[in-house]
A and B are shown apart, each in its own frame.
Chain A
Amino acid sequence: MSSHTLPAPGDTHGHDAHGHHDPNLQHHFVEMAQQFDTAKLGMWLFLATEILMFGGLFVGFGLQQAKFPEAFKAAHHHLDRNMGALNTVVLLISSFTMVLAVWAAQTGRRKVLITNLILTLACAGTFLVVKYFEYSHKIHDGLLPGKFFHYAQGQPNEYIFFSFYFMMTGLHGSHVVLGMGAITWLLIRAIKGDFGPGYYTPVDLVGLFWHLVDLIWIYLFPLLYLIG
């Protein structure tokens, strides 16, 4: 079907029993509440897949860390704790602004919604900028994954730590970028006035996704930066 929200022309019949046509109601749902609950359930299922995908990396990291504790400890000292902590704070704040955006949509505060979406985007951008400085520092020092590792005083097996560091933060960072795309899309629709107490499903779903991104960073930060 052509658009995300409007049912295609052929879909509008068959709802006469309900007496109204919410333009956001898709043809195979009976009412908006059912559609909302279904969408949310689907999002949670998707989040479960995300958790297991990242989880595989966490398990691999944990097992290799147990195997080479010294190398991992030495390697994690190359990470900048302050940068990591800064990014943690930035992401937590972005989660807060995101939940405010959901709340604003829920309660019909359009301006608050738009402001908070912009703030969330700004936080996400800050996160990526900090990440960029961290990455370029690592690249400059040769602290790189696998065969690219060429740090002069490196301990044996330190490169395994950096393999995981780059894979985990890279996968996480790609989720930040995806989330920014989704939030931008929300912003455009919010400016058009698509959301309100009657229909705010997309805001809620993107919010869930964004909180998951935050949630994963909550674990990444201590494991990579603090414990090593």
Chain B
Amino acid sequence: MATTSTPVTHHGGQHAPHASYLEDPQYRGLMSWLTTVDHKRIGLMYLWSVLTAFLLGGLFALALRLELLTPKEDFMTAETYNKVFTLHGAVMVFLFIIPAIPAALGNFVLPLMLGAKDVAFPRLNLASYYVYMTGAIMALTAILTGGIDTGWTFYTPYSTTTGGAVTLMTFSVFVLGFSSIFTGINFVATVHKLRAPGMGWFDLPLFVWGTYATAIIQVLATPVLAITLLLLAFERMFQIGIFDAKLGGDPVLFQHFFWFYSHPAVYIMILPGMAIISEIIPPFSKKHIFGYRAIAFSSVAIALISFIVWGHHMFTSGQSQLAAVIFSFLTFLVAIPSGIKVFNWVATMYRGSISLDTPMLYAISFLLLFTIGGLTGIFLGALSVDIHLHDTYFIVAHFHYVMMGGTVIAFLAGVHYWWPKMFGRMYNETWARIGCILVFFGFNITFLNQFAMGAKGMPRRYYSYLDQFQGNHIGSTVGSWVLALGLFIAAGVLLASLRKKYDAPDNPWGARTMEWETQSPPITHNFPNNPVMQHGPYDFDAPAVRRES
């Protein structure tokens, strides 16, 4: 139905359709992909890479859930279980979620939204991809040569004393950090300097605001992770005496350093997700976004506040009570901009003409799931409650509601939303919706059970448990199968569409942002001419967009 508002393509002189970036005769063959500096192609390479990582991390998760079906050891020993949950966490965090939205979708969409021909530093962009691949290969090597059983957080003193390939893994994360920094530098510079003529800061689509805030965090937080991991590796190799209490170090200092990066990193993960939702809700409600500036500023506010709340990961780690109280107070501040966003999204939908296409279904799922994840985060930010709930499945459920229910659902929403633009094909809407609904219910079955058993005291990171928790564990495992089925259907629907000929219109959803003004898929240089800003990104009253020719 949304296609009815597709703008009439201008049949001007040079309309003979340009070859898209996917089959530009100037850039053919494998080498043209491996050496490309085109942000769209780099975005696609990132997309396939992060999806592979998602598949890998997901398979680890399914294995964990299967082991937990019964209270006793089934097919994993305690040690294997430790390694598998570390791999699940590390792969999902460092190889999938952090690069997923900015580096894959952001790379593709951001310059198009700005009306730019490319990101500011195309070669740096390609370098970032290869650095990512190097880090990924190092991580896989670490997995194959001994594994890591520290959890993805590498807490000292365990990580400085345990065996396995921890040193290699920390170097791999060190390298992956640089890939993230390069993307961040690129995006900040692009947003500052490559906007189309006439496009002011408050004409930017909200996706750009979100990725911009993310990029700030990437630039300012990731270097501290790099130096932390370097120190950790040196502590392991040379016993330099910074994190190991036996040598005069302070293990809690490691947690400070680690979370100084990794808490903002949580917002590296969720901010782009929020940004996608801000982008999807208006066209499917056919309404201007409610509270544009509030959403834009709340993105930046989240980015800034995210730097001063990290201590809420350490309430039970031995930091001082004064510090804990300060961090707890600051943590509540983050809830304000997050709440602003949720209310504005709902207000945008209010009395809109809502069409429930797949991206919108995912966006609504996001609203429900992220709200649950966010509210339980407030419980956990309260000191006294956290003492009870820390290191239980309640925490696990909370951050899966934010990371999976928030970021991954938003990522799926974005992939379904921009798929026609990326590949020029429409997917089967019915099956895609079925996939979305299965994902939604499977997710809730999996993790609502974990909330319940966490509140009852089931600790996280154990391969066996007391019989009384088995009911919830069975529910959670069955839920993970439903979730997996939904994801496989979604993947199948999308991949099946690739066998078709190009059938996507330029603007299938009737959106108003600039990426829909070029053809689907876009030409190598994005726009036939340098585009000029003609109307706002959510200006649904403006006359139908006319593609320049």
CA distance A29 to B195 in the complex (A): 11
Least Cβ–Cβ distance between B3 and chain A, in angstroms? 31
**Which chain A residues border B247 with CB–CB below 8 Å?**
146, 160
Taking CB atoms and an 8 Å cut-off, the chain B residues in 349-369 that contact chain A are none
Flag if A145 contacts B120 (CB, 8 Å).
Answer: no
**Which chain A residues border B257 with CB–CB below 8 Å?**
56, 60
**Which chain A residues border B37 with CB–CB below 8 Å?**
1
User: With an 8 A cutoff between CB atoms, is B223 at the interface?
Assistant: yes
B-side binding surface: helix, strand, loop or mixed? helix
**Which chain B residues border A160 with CB–CB below 8 Å?**
240-242, 247-249
User: With an 8 A cutoff between CB atoms, is B26 at the interface?
Assistant: yes
CA distance A145 to B242 in the complex (A): 11
Least Cβ–Cβ distance between B163 and chain A, in angstroms? 18
**Which chain B residues border A51 with CB–CB below 8 Å?**
223
Query: Which partner residue on chain B sits nearest A15 by CB separation?
Result: B530
**Which chain A residues border B242 with CB–CB below 8 Å?**
60, 64, 160, 163
Least Cβ–Cβ distance between A116 and chain B, in angstroms? 27
| Proximity string of chain B (3-35) to chain A, C-beta cutoff 8 Å, 1 when within and 0 when not | 000000000000000000000001100000000
**Which chain B residues border A129 with CB–CB below 8 Å?**
none
Flag if A28 contacts B193 (CB, 8 Å).
Answer: no
Flag if B222 contacts A56 (CB, 8 Å).
Answer: no
CA distance A167 to B228 in the complex (A): 12
| Proximity string of chain B (225-244) to chain A, C-beta cutoff 8 Å, 1 when within and 0 when not | 01110110011001111100
User: With an 8 A cutoff between CB atoms, is B300 at the interface?
Assistant: no
Least Cβ–Cβ distance between A89 and chain B, in angstroms? 28
| Proximity string of chain B (181-205) to chain A, C-beta cutoff 8 Å, 1 when within and 0 when not | 1001110110011100000000000
CA distance A1 to B524 in the complex (A): 14
Taking CB atoms and an 8 Å cut-off, the chain A residues in 46-82 that contact chain B are 46, 48-57, 60, 63-64, 67-68
| Proximity string of chain B (440-475) to chain A, C-beta cutoff 8 Å, 1 when within and 0 when not | 000000000000000000000000000000000000
Query: Which partner residue on chain A sits nearest B120 by CB separation?
Result: A38
How many positions in chain B have a CB within 8 Å of any CB in the partner chain?
A: 47
Taking CB atoms and an 8 Å cut-off, the chain A residues in 1-30 that contact chain B are 1, 10, 14, 17, 26-30
| Proximity string of chain B (118-140) to chain A, C-beta cutoff 8 Å, 1 when within and 0 when not | 11111110000000000000000
| With contact pairs A28-B118, A28-B194, A63-B250 given, residues A41 and B188 touching in the complex (Cβ less than 8 Å) | yes
**Which chain B residues border A178 with CB–CB below 8 Å?**
none
Flag if A146 contacts B241 (CB, 8 Å).
Answer: yes
| With contact pairs A28-B194, A30-B530, A52-B224 given, residues A45 and B238 touching in the complex (Cβ less than 8 Å) | no
Flag if B220 contacts A41 (CB, 8 Å).
Answer: no
CA distance A49 to B234 in the complex (A): 21
**Which chain B residues border A41 with CB–CB below 8 Å?**
120, 188-189, 192-193
Least Cβ–Cβ distance between B527 and chain A, in angstroms? 10
User: With an 8 A cutoff between CB atoms, is B525 at the interface?
Assistant: yes
User: With an 8 A cutoff between CB atoms, is A210 at the interface?
Assistant: no
Best-buried of A26, A29, A49 by chain B (most CB within 10 Å):
A49
CA distance A172 to B173 in the complex (A): 22
CA distance A55 to B257 in the complex (A): 11
User: With an 8 A cutoff between CB atoms, is B219 at the interface?
Assistant: yes
| With contact pairs A49-B181, A50-B223, A53-B226 given, residues A167 and B117 touching in the complex (Cβ less than 8 Å) | no
Report which of A38, A57, A64, A67 forms a contact with B227, defined as CB distance below 8 A: A57
Flag if A38 contacts B248 (CB, 8 Å).
Answer: no
User: With an 8 A cutoff between CB atoms, is B62 at the interface?
Assistant: no
Report which of B27, B184, B194, B253 forms a contact with A60, defined as CB distance below 8 A: B253
Flag if A56 contacts B228 (CB, 8 Å).
Answer: yes
Flag if A53 contacts B219 (CB, 8 Å).
Answer: no
Report which of A38, A54, A67, A68 forms a contact with B193, defined as CB distance below 8 A: A38
> 21 A-B pairs, CB-CB below 8 angstroms?
A1-B123, A28-B118, A28-B119, A28-B122, A28-B194, A38-B192, A38-B193, A41-B189, A45-B185, A45-B189, A52-B220, A52-B224, A55-B224, A56-B257, A67-B250, A145-B234, A146-B239, A147-B238, A163-B238, A163-B240, A167-B240
Question: Which residues of B does A touch, CB under 8 Å?
Answer: 26-27, 37, 116-124, 181, 184-186, 188-189, 192-194, 219-224, 226-228, 230-231, 234-235, 238-242, 247-250, 253, 257, 525, 530
Beyond known contacts A49-B181, A167-B234: 19 more, CB 8 A cutoff: A10-B26, A14-B525, A27-B118, A27-B525, A38-B121, A41-B192, A42-B121, A42-B185, A45-B188, A53-B223, A55-B223, A145-B234, A146-B238, A148-B238, A159-B241, A160-B247, A160-B248, A164-B240, A167-B231
